[in-house]
């Protein structure tokens, strides 16, 4: 199974995924990213009034992202 790396970008801060997750296909990786975004948005948006959360998928540990899968933002003022 190919390994996918999921970078989480919270506002301007990128947490680079250096371990990755083995998944059957890019479609599965997209689905996982979407679920993770939903999970994490609940936490991030609870503690900040303005936030943007993005997940990018890479297929190489040091490579460029193959796509921005999911992104969400909140603005309350």
Per CB under 8 A, residues contacting other proteins are 6, 8, 15, 17-21, 23, 32-33, 35-36, 38-40, 43, 55
CB of 53 to other proteins, least distance (A): 12
Measured distance CA(27)–CA(67) in Å, rounded: 12
Which residue, 35 or 73, is less far from other proteins as judged by CB? 35
Measured distance CA(27)–CA(9) in Å, rounded: 20
Which residue, 36 or 74, is less far from other proteins as judged by CB? 36
Secondary structure letter of residue 37 according to DSSP:
H
């Amino acid at each position: 199974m190919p390994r996918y790396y999921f970078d989480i970008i919270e506002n301007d801060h990128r947490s680079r995924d250096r371990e990755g997750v083995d998944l059957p296909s890019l479609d599965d990786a997209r689905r996982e990213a979407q679920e993770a975004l939903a999970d994490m948005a609940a936490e991030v948006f609870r503690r900040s009034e303005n936030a943007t959360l993005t997940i990018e998928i890479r297929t190489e540990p040091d490579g460029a992202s193959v796509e921005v899968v999911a992104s969400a933002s909140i603005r309350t003022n």
